[in-house]
Chain A
Amino acid sequence: EVQLVESGGGLVQPGGSLRLSCAASGFTFSTYWMSWVRQAPGTGLEWVANIKQDGSEKHYVDSVKGRFTISRDNAKNSLYLQMNSLRVEDTAVYYCARVGVTGTMWDYWGQGTLVTVSS
């Protein structure tokens, strides 16, 4: 059974940093693109970042470029999101999601971890 379990969320002040983790199991992690997708309270979904199977290619939404870094450790079946210079508008539930084999959709999602940026 595919499982994605996020951790690392919490309350942080504006300008602060946080590192999210996602532990994957039930599939061959190293053969899939992976993503982070977020959802601000009471609003819709926003893709944040993608990373290729070997970590050689990464993509980010414009609003987080230069502040967030996606990475992975295939030996540990883990995905990460390093978030620096956090802003109030980064407050959201952050989901780890697997990119399906066609490369065009997210076929499995974690339960999400809440990041709150507030003074």
Chain B
Amino acid sequence: IQMTQSPSSLSASVGDRVTITCRASQRISSSLNWYRQKPGKAPNLLIYAASSLQSGVPSRFSGSGSGTDFTLTISSLQPEDFATYYCQQSYSIPGTFGQGTKVEIK
């Protein structure tokens, strides 16, 4: 299953609302996770099963979608959110990732 994210990169300011989309090459129900990866660090799980917030993750992160189209929204961008975001399908093995969306400071 191929996962395609858009955009590949974006520039935004602290406090902005940011939306990242992920499209699967076939229907994957709600089997979609989102991760944030800060430079030089391991990925961090944000959202699982398309819309469930992982424990300890701030409520400014939310996820939606099902089938083939999914969205990650950051309601008010914080300094620590400047990072790369990956979607990942867990519908079938291998659990493929999208190519990533880099969120940069405007």
Contacts and interface: CB of A to CB of B under 8 A. Distances in A.
A104 B99 CA distance: 19
Given A44-B86, A44-B98, A47-B95, A104 B42 contact: no
B16 to A, nearest CB: 24
Contacts of B99: 44
Given A45-B100, A47-B97, A109-B43, 7 more contacts: A45-B97, A47-B94, A50-B93, A61-B94, A100-B48, A105-B45, A105-B90
Contact of B45 (A62, A107, A110): A107
B48 A45 contact: no
Nearest to B95: A47
A54 interface: no
Interface string A93-119: 001000010101111011110000000
B48 A105 contact: yes
Interface residues of B, number: 22
Contacts, number: 53
Interface in B26-67: 31, 33, 35, 41-45, 48-49, 54
B71 interface: no
B3 to A, nearest CB: 10
Q: Is the interface of B mostly helix, strand, loop or mixed?
A: loop
A118 to B, nearest CB: 21
Interface size of A as a range: 10 to 19
Contact of B88 (A102, A105, A109, A112): A105
A92 to B, nearest CB: 13
Given A44-B100, A45-B86, A50-B93, A104 B49 contact: yes
A95 B95 contact: no
B96 interface: yes
Interface in B55-106: 86, 88, 90, 93-100
